[in-house]
Structure 1
């Protein structure tokens, strides 16, 4: 029987909040980016696509290290925020969101890019000939046709963010209620040899991940029929 503490529930809520917000931001970024990669200027694609897919091969701790430098008060964005009198992103929930968007970007862009290529430009061109404006073509033509790709991108982004650890530890640490998500709390429980609590939270993540992938696979199967 599961007996979750207040700290456990706090980490669960923070994790779901991080995953949901990251997925929403990623969809807003990935839709235009994936369309450009699918049909934009080919000469610039290779470099941009390499940057987008870099988190797939780059160790999370390496990404976290450079984000740590970028967000620190003495470098890059962190220096600018300090000079402007704004709160730092390092070791904050907002910093985790920024890192998660970068870390999970390819999991949103790749499914959408493949989906857009399978749709092609003909439906939008036909709608344009019929007098539909750009927003109407986007909202009433492209989005309904791209629904499978959108669901795949959202599911994979959410699931990938759910399992973040190395990057989060580098830029967020383990601050209760602020940066201590489930993966970090599981590590803390394990380090304290509190294996029962670690097992409960690990099992929760395992079930949630399997459920997300199961729903995604069933949706893809149904959409092919």
Structure 2
């Protein structure tokens, strides 16, 4: 019998992470796409680091940063949040690990919007916020959808960083990827196959949805 709790936790984690990252990543991506600051390459490098860093490295520094003796650890403890080996800890780790998967597609989307549309909006008397909401965002829907879906899928597939930060507490931090790992460890390959097949089907469906939507959007533009 399949235990669906790890999948529920994975979907809950991915939903919260994707929602928060969209709110955080949108203004950052807009700034990166429009700024001419000479430090832009350095900031872009920091944003992209989770892509190339081993998850264990990121997990280790999260453990260190939120340990009880540090400023952040004491701060979160004072407001009643335990950042390590808890679901909030998984959210923090996922926000950091999936950050570039949200920011980079949004930045590409902003950079792809014709500058003539933005200039025309300003000439028409719209301010920056009105231009963003009514001109820029509607013209970068494929990029927004790609950012949301890829971030969601990437968060569901996380393993190393969530294992280090959250451990494997049933019903709290044991997500689907960790459940698969534990089944392999105890040589329960049947359960590992079932869980893995579900993850493969989910990943394929997500990517297929992105490509179909982007293809339809290109046809509409043509």
Q: For the Cα contact (< 8 Å) 1:63–1:167, is it kept in 2?
A: yes
Q: Runs ≥4 in structure 1, deviation > 4 angstroms? A: none
Shift of residue 111, structure 1, vs aligned partner = 1.0
SS in 2 for 1:63: helix
Query: Is it true that 1:203 corresponds to 2:197 in the alignment?
Result: yes
Point out the more displaced range, 126-135 or 164-173.
126-135
Query: Is it true that 1:130 corresponds to 2:121 in the alignment?
Result: no
Q: Distance in 2 between matches of 1:221 and 1:34?
A: 23
SS in 2 for 1:132: coil
Point out the more displaced range, 186-195 or 127-136.
127-136
Q: For the Cα contact (< 8 Å) 1:73–1:88, is it kept in 2?
A: no
Count of residue pairs the alignment pairs up: 219
| Corresponding residue to 1:156 among 135, 150, 154 | 150
Gaps of 5+ in 2: none
Q: Distance in 2 between matches of 1:87 and 1:113?
A: 32
1:40 matched to which residue of 2? 35
| Corresponding residue to 1:68 among 63, 66, 79 | 63
Point out the more displaced range, 204-213 or 25-34.
25-34
Q: Distance in 2 between matches of 1:49 and 1:32?
A: 14
1:212 matched to which residue of 2? 206
Trace 1:43-122 onto structure 2 (pairs within 5 A). 43-82=38-77, 84=78, 86-122=80-116
Q: Distance in 2 between matches of 1:123 and 1:75?
A: 48
| Corresponding residue to 1:21 among 16, 21, 31 | 16
Q: Distance in 1 between matches of 2:116 and 2:170?
A: 51
SS in 1 for 2:178: helix
Gaps of 5+ in 1: none
RMSD in angstroms over aligned alpha carbons?
1.3
Q: Deviations over 1:163-218 (max 9, x none)?
A: 10000011000011111000011111111222111111110000000010011111
